[in-house]
Amino acid sequence: MSKSNVKPAQGKLGVMVVGLGAVSTTFMTGVLMTRKGLAKPVGSMTQYDKIRVSDGKETKYLKYDEIVPMAKLDDIVFASWDVYPANAYESAINAEVLKEKDINPVKEELEAIKPLKAAFDHNYAKRLDGDNIMVGKTRWEMVEQLREDIRNFKKEKGVDRIVVLWAASTEVYVPVDEKVHGSLAALEAAMKADDKEHVAPSMCYAYAALTEGAPFIMGAPNTTVDIPAMWELSEKTGMPIAGKDFKTGQTLVKSGFAPIIGTRCLGLSGWFSTNILGNRDGLVLDEPANFRTKEVSKLSTLESILVPEEQPDLYTNYFHKVRINYYPPRNDNKEGWDNIDIFGWMGYPMQIKINFLCRDSILAAPLCLDLVLLSDLAARAGRHGIQRFLSFFLKSPMHDYTKGEVPVNHLFQQYVMLKNAIREMGGYEADEKID
**DSSP secondary-structure letter at 430?**
-
Query: Domain 13-246+361-425, what fold?
Result: Rossmann fold (3.40.50)
Look at residue 281 in the predicted model and tell me its pLDDT: 77
| Nearest in space to 187 (alpha carbons), one of 129, 229, 236, 149 | 229
Can 13-246+361-425 and 250-357 be said to share one CATH topology? no
pLDDT at position 300, please? Answer: 77
CB 387 within 8 A of CB 241: yes
pLDDT at 1: 45
Q: What is the pLDDT, as a whole number, of residue 405? A: 92
Consecutive H or E run containing 75 = none
> Smallest Cα–Cα separation from 382: which of 211, 213, 230?
213
| Whole-angstrom distance, CA of residue 165 vs CA of residue 387 | 14
Which residues are CB-neighbours of 37 under 8 A, at least 6 positions away?
none
Domain 250-357, classified CATH 3.30.360.10, yes or no: yes
pLDDT under 70 in the chain at which residues? 1-3, 297-298
Q: Where are the domains of the chain?
A: 13-246+361-425, 250-357
Q: Report phi then psi at 97, rounded to 5.
A: -90, -50
First CA to last CA distance, the chain: 28
The per-residue pLDDT for 61 is 97
Between CA 118 and CA 334 the distance in angstroms is 27
Q: Which among 124, 102, 115 is positioned nearest to 19, based on CA atoms?
A: 115
Give the pLDDT of residue 250.
Answer: 87
* pLDDT tens profile 261-299: 999 999 999 999 999 988 777 788 788 888 887 777 667
